[in-house]
Structure formats: C-alpha cells, structure tokens
C-alpha cells in the first residue's frame, strides 16, 4: 500500500515537514493573491459587460469566452514560456498568480454579471432619479444588494482556484502538489507514496471543504428564503 | 520577421501538424471516455447519495457522499499522481497501439482512470441537482400507480432529470476537455503535452537553431485555437439547450 501503515514512511514525511509547509505556503500565497486579482478583473469585466457601451461589452465578452473555453494549464504555460523566451521571466509564483487571476477572473465576471442582472431595473432608475451617477449607484445601491446572490458561486470559484494552483507543477513550481510529488519521487526521500498523498489530500480538503460547505448552505438558505417569499406573496 | 516565418514553417511541416492533430484526437478520446463512464458512475453515485439514507443501505449513501466531497475538494492532479502509483494497467493496455508505445498506453489508461473518477464526482452533483428539482408529487403519483422503486426511477424520474440537466452536463463536457490537459503532467499524449513537446524541439524545426518567443505564440496559438473552437461550439450548444428548457 505504498507505506500507509509503515512507521518508517511516516517518519520520512515528518522529516520532510518543512518542505510540505513551504509548499503549502506557496499554494496559499498563490491562491490568495490570485483570488484578489480574479475579483478585481471579475468586477471590472463584469461591470463592462453590464454597461451600455457596446465596445466595452464586446471586449468583456471576448475575454470571458476566450478564457473560459481554453484550459488553465495552456494559459499558464503560454504566459510562462512567452515571458521566459522573450527574456522577461518573472518567476513561477507570480506567473501562477497572473494566470489564475486571469482564468478565474473570467468566471468571476460572469458571477458579477449575473448578480447585477438579478437586481430589478427600478433600482437603477430610482438611484438615478436621486442624482446618483452610474458609478455611485453601482457602489452604494446595486452591488451591496448583489452580495447575497453572488457569494455562493464566488466561493465555488475560490475553491476551484485553490485546486488549480496545481497547474504550477508543469513549469516546475514549488506549490503543495509539486513538493509532494518531488518528495515521493526524490532519490533520498522517495517511496512514501501513501502518507505523502494522504497528507497532501487532507491539506487540500481542509482548505476547500469548509468553503464549499459554506457556499452550499448559503445557497440553500437563499433558496428557502425565496420560496418563503413566494409563499407569502401567494397568501396575500 | 525572420523569427515569425521560422515559427510558421513549423506548422507547415506535415509531420508536426499530424503529430499535433493526433494530440487533438487523443484529447477528444480521453474526454469522451471520461464523460461517458463518468455519467454512468455519476448517476449511480447521485441516486445512492440521495436515496440510500435510511436502514441498512444508509452506509452506502454515506460512502457516496464521502466519495463526492473528497473528489470535489482535492485537485485532479493529485488523483492523477495517485493513479500513477496505485492503478495497475490491465494486460490489454500494455501493448503499443494508436501510435503510442506500451508505456504510454499504460500512462494513458491511468490518466483516464483518474479523470473519470474526478469527473464522476462533479457529474454526480449535477445529477443530484436535477433529482432535487423533481417535485415530490412525481414520486408519489408513480408509487400510487403501483410502480416499484427502481422502475419509478428509470421510467418516471430519470427521463425528467436528464431533460433538466442536459445544459449543465454539456458544460461539464467543456470542463472535462479542459481538465484532460492535466494528463500532460504525466505523459506526452494529448494536445497540451504535444504542444509543449514541439516547442521544446522548435529550434530544430524553425531553421534558426534556437527557440524564439514567436514559436511560443504560433504553437500555443494553434493549441488555443483548437481548444477554443471545440469548447466554444459546445458552449453554443449549452446556450441553445438552455433556451429550449426555459
């Protein structure tokens, strides 16, 4: 079983604990900064897509369609090699942050777009009639109302982003997956497959599961509230 | 300009183009197998998780739930690495075929196994969403007509579920095609890996004795285009089926 029950294999993992921690740190750093970038891009392109300026809508659509319909691994490799072969290499972690940010930004844009689209038109009109500019009505009236709706799909995207940090492996990253793999195949450390993969899996599960659980329960609560509102409206 | 011409000449090389197109074929084969078995497995998982909740079968429901949550909250690449070690290739896949060596067919088998396990957990959640959207009255009406539990599922519920989830399932096909690129981490078989492979040898093919940034743009541009055409066509189909349902 690859040493699942062997104390020796587990001791190897323990000796390598700093390596795993470094990998975990890199994964967390890449993911967190990737999330920030994805949110920013998502908000910008989501607003562009909901706006009335046709050229900006087109730009947002092209970005979203192109990114969503090609693999993250290909995008990551493309950015990495394009920078490397033009002599502008910026390192693996920054490349990963940019690639993950751009990839998940396209999904976040759709999330923002759907969220803003779900707000009744009257809200925009009311805000405008009160003298709010477009940006002000977005900032103070519309976006705060969308948060409840966009939170669940947004958190799901964050979970996917965490999992996609594994795309760093192909260019020789030092993220959790890559560190685990180099540990189990390393000349001095190799062999302890089961404990290492189990540890890596548990760490990813601990990062992702609470988030996905939260997203699901928010979604359920939202649905129940909607149903209750529909029932209440029916009684009236 | 010389660099760009060199890069373009790589794609004009018939052998390289055939090599890349074979990668496209493998991407499609891998994804098709993973989706078809994944749908089968996903349906079973979803039904077990949803309805085996009481009595002696409750343990099965729990196991299905654990399976789904574990696979949905860990990266595909981890499962590919795990299958690399713990899945043994059956004899029929240990022979050279489809232009692959016997080692490569073994890796292909392991990669497909990992992808199938991974996607079936996602498909199970899609099916569960469909199952939960079926009004309870449908079950009650069917039972009152004397249908047995399995035939209620097969004849009454599943056809309705299928109708509801077609767009989401098609969306999952797009995801699977994209996810299949992760197999590039263990073997040079599908499009993603072959693109990288050609890039690493580009200095021999572009006639300039070194890899230039234009090679990256041309070769990856080709791969981007192929993935985009396939996935965009599918996403159009998603939209069309969505409209039909609404």
Binned at pLDDT 50, 70 and 90, residue A2 comes out as: low
Angle subtended at Cα B164 by Cα B232 and Cα B130, rounded to the nearest 5 degrees: 110
Regarding the domain delimited by A7-235, which CATH topology (the fold level of the hierarchy) does it fall under? MetI-like fold (1.10.3720)
> Residue B97: what are its φ and ψ, rounded to 5°?
-155, 160
Nearest-CA distance from A124 to chain B in Å?
A: 26
Mean pLDDT of A54-82: 94
Cβ distance A70 to B227 less than 8 Å, yes or no, reads yes
The predicted pLDDT at position A146 comes to 87
- Enter the ipTM: 0.90
The predicted pLDDT at position A59 comes to 95
The predicted pLDDT at position B40 comes to 95
More confident residue, A142 or A62: A62
Within an 8 Å CB–CB cutoff, is residue B179 touching chain A?
Answer: yes
| Average pLDDT, rounded, for chain B | 90
The predicted pLDDT at position A1 comes to 52
Within an 8 Å CB–CB cutoff, is residue B185 touching chain A?
Answer: yes
Q: Is the pLDDT of residue B69 over 60?
A: yes
**Cα-to-chain-centroid distance, residue A121:** 30
Mean pLDDT of A129-150: 86
Which chain B residues are closer than 8 Å to A73 by Cβ?
181-182, 184, 192
CA distance B190 to B182: 10
Binned at pLDDT 50, 70 and 90, residue B103 comes out as: confident
Mean pLDDT of A11-36: 88
Q: Write the Ramachandran bin of B210: left for phi over 0, alpha for psi from -120 to 50, otherwise beta.
A: beta
Q: Is the pLDDT of residue A13 over 80?
A: no
Within an 8 Å CB–CB cutoff, is residue B228 touching chain A?
Answer: yes
Q: Is the pLDDT of residue A34 over 90?
A: yes
Q: Answer for the pair A195, A13: CB distance below 8 angstroms, yes or no.
A: yes
HEC readout, A186-229: CCCCCCCHHHHHHHHHHHHHHHHHHHHHHHHHHHHHHHHHHHHH
Q: Write the Ramachandran bin of B98: left for phi over 0, alpha for psi from -120 to 50, otherwise beta.
A: left
Least confident of A122-126, B35-39, B115-119: A122-126
Mean pLDDT of A55-78: 95
Q: Is the pLDDT of residue B246 over 80?
A: no
Grouping H, G, I as helix, E, B as strand and the rest as coil, residue B97 is: strand
Q: Identify the DSSP state of B100.
A: B
The predicted pLDDT at position B5 comes to 83
Within an 8 Å CB–CB cutoff, is residue B217 touching chain A?
Answer: yes
- Which residues are B100's β-sheet partners? B97
Grouping H, G, I as helix, E, B as strand and the rest as coil, residue B210 is: coil
More confident residue, A12 or A67: A67
Task: Please write the tens of the pLDDT for every residue from A209-235.
Answer: 999 999 888 888 887 887 787 778 776
Q: Answer for the pair B229, A70: CB distance below 8 angstroms, yes or no.
A: no
CA distance B201 to B13: 13
Q: Is the pLDDT of residue A236 over 70?
A: no
Of B174, B212, B217, the CB nearest to A69: B174
Q: Answer for the pair A20, A186: CB distance below 8 angstroms, yes or no.
A: no
Of B74, B181, B231, the CB nearest to A205: B74
Within an 8 Å CB–CB cutoff, is residue B114 touching chain A?
Answer: no
Rounded to the nearest 10°, the torsion over CA B133, B175, A28, A46 is -80
Domain spanning B2-245 has what CATH number? 1.10.3720.10
CA distance A114 to B38: 29
The predicted pLDDT at position B66 comes to 94
Range among A216-225, B18-27, B205-214 with highest mean pLDDT value: B18-27
| Average pLDDT, rounded, for chain A | 88
Which chain A residues are closer than 8 Å to B182 by Cβ?
73, 166-167
Task: Please write the tens of the pLDDT for every residue from A95-111.
Answer: 999 999 999 999 999 99
Cβ distance A180 to B75 less than 8 Å, yes or no, reads no
| Nearest residue on chain B to A206, alpha-carbon basis | B73
Residues in chain B: 246
CA distance B18 to B24: 10
């Amino acid at each position: 079983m690859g040493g699942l029950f062997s104390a020796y294999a587990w001791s190897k993992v323990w000796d390598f604990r700093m390596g795993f921690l470094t990998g975990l740190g890199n994964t967390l750093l890449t993911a967190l900064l990737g999330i920030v970038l994805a949110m920013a891009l998502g908000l910008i392109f989501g607003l562009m897509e909901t706006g009335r300026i046709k050229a900006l809508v087109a730009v947002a659509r092209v970005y979203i369609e192109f990114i969503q319909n090609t693999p993250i691994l290909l995008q990551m490799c493309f950015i990495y090699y394009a920078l490397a072969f033009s002599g502008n290499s910026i390192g693996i972690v920054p490349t990963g942050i940019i690639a993950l940010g751009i990839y998940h930004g396209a999904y976040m844009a759709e999330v923002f777009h759907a969220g803003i689209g779900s707000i009744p038109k009257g809200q925009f009109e009311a805000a405008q009639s009160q003298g709010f500019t477009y940006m002000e009505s977005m900032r103070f009236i519309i976006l705060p109302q969308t948060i409840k709706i966009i939170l669940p799909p947004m958190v799901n995207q964050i979970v996917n982003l965490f999992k996609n940090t594994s795309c760093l492996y192909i260019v020789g990253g030092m993220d959790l997956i890559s560190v685990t793999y180099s540990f189990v195949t390393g000349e001095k450390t190799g062999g302890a497959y089961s404990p290492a993969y189990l540890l890596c899996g548990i760490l990813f599960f601990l990062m992702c599961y609470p988030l996905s659980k939260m997203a699901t329960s928010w979604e359920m609560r939202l649905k129940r509230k909607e149903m209750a509102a529909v029932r209440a409206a029916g009684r009236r | 300009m010389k660099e760009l011409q060199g890069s373009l000449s790589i794609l004009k090389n018939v052998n390289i183009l055939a090599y890349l197109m074979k990668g496209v074929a493998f991407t499609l084969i891998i994804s098709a197998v993973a989706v078809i078995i994944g749908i089968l497995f996903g349906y079973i998982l979803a039904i077990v998780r949803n309805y085996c909740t009481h009595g002696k079968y409750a343990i099965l429901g729990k196991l299905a739930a654990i399976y789904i949550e574990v696979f949905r909250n860990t990266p595909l690449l981890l499962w590919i690495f795990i299958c690399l070690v713990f899945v043994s290739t059956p004899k029929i896949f240990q022979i050279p075929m489809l232009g692959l060596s016997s080692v490569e067919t073994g890796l292909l088998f392991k990669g497909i196994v990992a992808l199938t396990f991974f996607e079936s957990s996602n498909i199970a959640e899609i099916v569960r969403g469909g199952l939960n959207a079926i009004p309870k009255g449908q079950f009650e009406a069917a039972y009152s007509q004397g249908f047995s539990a399995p035939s209620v599922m097969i004849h009454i519920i599943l056809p309705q579920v299928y109708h509801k989830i077609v767009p989401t399932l098609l969306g999952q096909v797009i995801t699977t095609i994209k996810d299949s690129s992760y197999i590039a981490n263990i073997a040079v078989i599908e499009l993603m890996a072959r693109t990288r492979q050609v890039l690493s040898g580009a200095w021999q093919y572009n006639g300039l004795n070194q890899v230039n940034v234009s090679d990256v743009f041309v070769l990856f541009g080709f791969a981007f285009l192929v993935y985009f055409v396939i996935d965009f066509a599918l996403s159009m189909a998603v939209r069309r089926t969505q409209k039909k349902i609404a």
